[in-house]
Amino acid sequence: MGDKRHRWTVGLFTALGCLCALITADRANPPDMTRAQTLSPEVTAQDGALLRAFLSKDGAWRIRTTPGQVGPRYLAMLQAYEDKRFEQHHGIDGMAMLRAAWQLARTGHIVSGGSTLTMQVARLLEPHGHGIIGKSLQIVRAAQLEERYSKDEILSLYLTLAPMGGNLEGVRAASLSYFGKEPASLDLAESALLVALPQSPVKQRPDRHAQAALKGRNKVLARMVEDSVMTAGDAATAMREGVPFARQPMPLSAPHLAQRLVIKEKRDRIVTTLDAGIQAAAERLAKQERAYFDDGADISLVVVENRTRNLVAYVGGTDYWGRAGQVDLAARARSPGSALKPFIYGLAFDNLVLHPASRMQDEATSFGDYAPKDFDGQFQGAVTARDALQMSLNIPAVMVLDRVGPLAFTLALQNAGAHLAFPTHDAPTLPVALGGLGISLSDIAMLYAGIAEGGQAQALRVIAGAPDAPRHRLFGPIAAWYLRDVLDGVALPDGWAMGQGLLKKRSIGFKTGTSYGFRDAWAVGFSNDYTVAVWVGRADGTPRPGHIGRESGAPILLKMFGLLPPDKRPAPPVPSGALIVRATDELPPALRVFTRQNTAPAQPMQVAQLPPPAIAFPPNGAVVPLPDTKDALQFKADGGHMPLTWLVNGAPLGSFDRFAPAFYTPTGEGMVRVTVVDADGRSDTSTVRFKRLR
pLDDT in tens, 198-239: 999 999 999 999 999 999 999 999 999 999 999 999 999 999
Distance CA 54, CA 269 (A): 11
Please identify every residue annotated as catalytic: 82, 338
Distance CA 305, CA 275 (A): 10
pLDDT at 501 over 50: no
Strands across the sheet containing 269-271: 50-53, 42-44, 269-271
pTM for the predicted model, two decimal places:
0.81
pLDDT at 13 over 90: no
| The pLDDT value given to residue 215 | 97
Which residues are registered as beta bridge partners of 617?
Answer: 636
pLDDT band at 9 (very low <50, low <70, confident <90, very high): low
What does the DSSP assignment read for 214-225? HHHHHHHHHHHH
pLDDT at 111 over 50: no
516 backbone dihedrals φ, ψ, rounded to 5°: -60, 135
Q: Is 314 helix (H, G, I), strand (E, B) or coil?
A: strand
615-665: pLDDT as tens digits: 878 888 778 887 666 678 888 888 888 888 888 887 778 778 766 778 888
| The pLDDT value given to residue 102 | 53
232-270: pLDDT as tens digits: 999 999 999 999 999 999 999 999 999 999 999 999 999
| The pLDDT value given to residue 230 | 95
| The pLDDT value given to residue 367 | 87
pLDDT at 12 over 60: no
**139 CB-near residues (< 8 Å, 6+ apart):** 91, 92, 119
